[in-house]
Structure 1
């Protein structure tokens, strides 16, 4: 029989197993709950993301609308002004250009933020909704798989429990059988021992007596022994049978135990990981794509904004006062050009329109001229000192207004606490104490500058007035009169000066024009693009030696270098082709809106020039007009040619604003190029060489240097009088 101790131990083993299985079952339940919780958190996260981007989309679209309203408000306000005053893009002043680019940047940001809102609503939010739907569906399927795996695991545990119970039962039976077998063996031993003791205690007897006693006891002893032996054999067989069953049950139990441990290990190590992977299938990748979409949208907005800011930065760097002043004066030629000179209005038939330098007023004029000279010397010294002080003050003001105080990057170095920007910004350049002090210093310096400026301008005006009187008296007295513009003396080489003295058109001018007319009418950028300085010097030196390096049919010279030689000739004259004496009279015509009226006025002014000067002008401007007819090919319309030749042919007198006056000079030269046939007299009124269009059937000109043209040129195109801002900029640098 099984002892109570063994029975209690078996119960403890079973109870321990059941407790372990119960703990596993509780774990499995918690695992499903944990996965459910993760799914709920995931769904909530995706819902929060959708709500966040939905709200952000509303903010972006509101911001976009506000930016659009802001831009339209000021664009509407400035559109009429821009259309009325600035008809050409190249005439836009640099501050106005910055303002327009700023408004365009705001409109660009408005469109970008509207696009951002649309992407949020129609791209990113649907992505999150799709991820949420996919995650719920995949979690449901993964949970079904997990439940099935848990059920299979519980089956394995139940099977182990059954095998263990079977093992315990067979092992108990084996132990019981063994106990019974041992009990039978003890009975057998006991029976055998009792028989031996009886034999020993008996006295010796006769053989006949012993035989009779043995014959009486033998049946009884043999029956009992056989019965015990039979019981022993039966119990031995039972024990052997139960022992075999116990061994097999133990083997099955060990196998089931190993299999169960393997299944439990596999479930916890592999199956759970696979189930979680199934729950996460595509979630992180889809979320990554959605967030990358958001990043792409934001980065493109930043790129667009950065591009617009770079354009605005370029416009800010291009803010330039002199260029704007020239554009303004070009736009309003009739407003800023000098008026016509006042003519002498005779009284009561007085025909004497010049000063009288005869006695008795000659001595008075000489004395007055000396007084003016002395007074001018003193005034110029004083005005130069005022000018130096004014320029130094202006430099101080420019240092004040150009201080690089625009870097506010420190204001954006926030800590994680998101501290207020105001506390950082208050210590910057715009802090009240610093700003008040700087403003006070700047205003004080400006006041001093304008005081000196006023003093300088008043002094210069007085000097100009006294110089005009002094020069007229000198001219009247014959001390510095020079009426003939000696173009030939403008050459620094004696051989060229000698050559030019007897020719109406200098060889260098005629040969260069002839070469360009034959080969370079369609050359892009003629007179605007610089040529080779080495070749320019070689050609110039050949002309100075009395040679003509451009004679013949060779076309192996650089066209830009030939054009450079022609410009170099006029630039090298001691006196510009247009004398300073007629500068004011010519510039005054720029205020006339009608080009025809300008031409008539210019013709009237130029009539006073020597005939030799007029012949060269007629020849040159006829060529420039012919050249401008090919502006579609050579990109040189009358205005661009005027920019190239204006500074060379007409210098701005000292004491005048070079920038504003040069704009008027360019407009004047353009008018002369367009209406050269009206301004200059024809061959009948002015004897001398005349420029003839090559291929027209006549000789190139009537100069002894001329040769018949070798090629025919295409029919001239319509003259283009517009000008391009890029060409202007390039030409001014030549």
Structure 2
């Protein structure tokens, strides 16, 4: 390639890189605008709420005064009557007159209630909205500072990538130039050697000496250019390796920012907003419900809206409103330079020792950083929980304000002084702001640490793949202790010599065929243990067990033993559940094949649950018989477990959240956030309608799950009788879904 063409190609590569960086810069600016616009909308909403309740307070107070004038007018009139004089004497009245007095007292009571309502609006509800507005603005400013810091860090990473790319281009160009000069020297040498081969009997002695001198000069020049070429070639290899490492780290950093950091920043902006707005509106609801119970039907609509205040859902909607701003950009691809197609780190002999040293340093550094960052994460989560506790105090009940004396005389309205107490407000807000300041400091520290870990981990993993299996074995001996040990081969019921298929991290169909177990022993044993001791265990499959016990149980199964066969409940139920999830999560091929993922996800578009179940059945019937039997067994168990959701808090939706990523992982090419919700819905449908989806014993011969595996503890479940599929659909459609992450 000629020099002008080479420079033109370099400019095109740099221009393409700068264009991609420019798009990212524009996205960062757009993200900040979106967050700022969201805060402005919230402040305006809170201002409108203040104006609304201020006007409503004036109306209620005016109404209270009119009622008081009305009652006083007729009370003054009745005081001059003979009946009133008689009332003062013996306190006995005719029933019509008594009703009249009670009616007037009721009007005065209503006047007091409306005055109380007006005071609550003016001195309680409006003040809450003012505080929420202040908090929202403050949260946005703090989040904005962190956002700018993340943007700067991201741009530093991109600039670093640009620098190493330019360095690589420079060294590679020098290497090519040195190679060209070396070839030129070799040609001169060959030419000179050809001359030396001519007959020399007619050449003079002086000319012979000149030729010999010229040959020596050419040889020295060739040796010099050979050394220069080797030096430049080595620099080029090192520069390319550094470019590839930085490229991997840059893509990892960009991906983490768009997938994780942006979501966390939105959470920071939302911190306490929904909970505080919930409290303010619940104060309004409490006042209205106590004032007039007959208005409950209309107020229920508002309460439902208040109950629906949920930051996670709002965040999802907010991000969906601006898809172009929050969509992760494409990964940076390796840009080959002048025909260099090597797109991976090269561990040649000249740089292998250096790469190995760097790999070991990264490994040691990562182990330390992960421990430190985990501690920071725990502190951050604990502080966040403290803040959430501060902003979710249930202080919105004003029922005490509507308690009345039996006396017929007017009683001064009372407003709860607990929340309005100035010392209490000052102390609580000072504590809240101090805790917020500490949280943001730790949150910033956690983000910085996790960013560094992401970059180093990307380089570490790339070097690990480059250095090969021999060095990976050394890495496995120094793994952190909380990771599961390397899987071993299963050897029961057949001896190890006769069973070559792996249990953990193996293929389910191959293991069943090789071991002769229709239902793998680990699946049957874990399900039986949970059936006996864990159906009513709260948080089953959601709460993590002991990693040490999980590893012990797992290793026992790998040795061909059955550690759960003694019918003794001396194992932690969460650890047993963790082993079952670990087994399915580690399968080489998920039980729901990847090639069927899009077909299964498309079933979500079928609104009728019965038709959806039938469509899923058609898709699953194409699976191998052995896998279908295991799936039928598992989902029958999960359905049985969900029948105890009142005790274990694990309804079909919560179980789907736990098993969705395990049984049906989302392919890397798919959008993880949107697809995961669809996966959970598919798994939930199969759990609820497993009997309609999977063939019965007549159609598919094989083991089936039994609800009463041993003993009579759980045989009398109130859910043992099943209705029709249509009845289940109706029941399931009325159950609220929780959005708790597992």
Question: Which TM-score bucket, shorter chain as reference?
Answer: 0.3 to 0.5
Structure with more relative contact order (C-alpha pairs < 8 Å, separation 6 or more): 1
Structure showing greater Rg: 1
TM-score calculated relative to the size of structure 2: 0.38
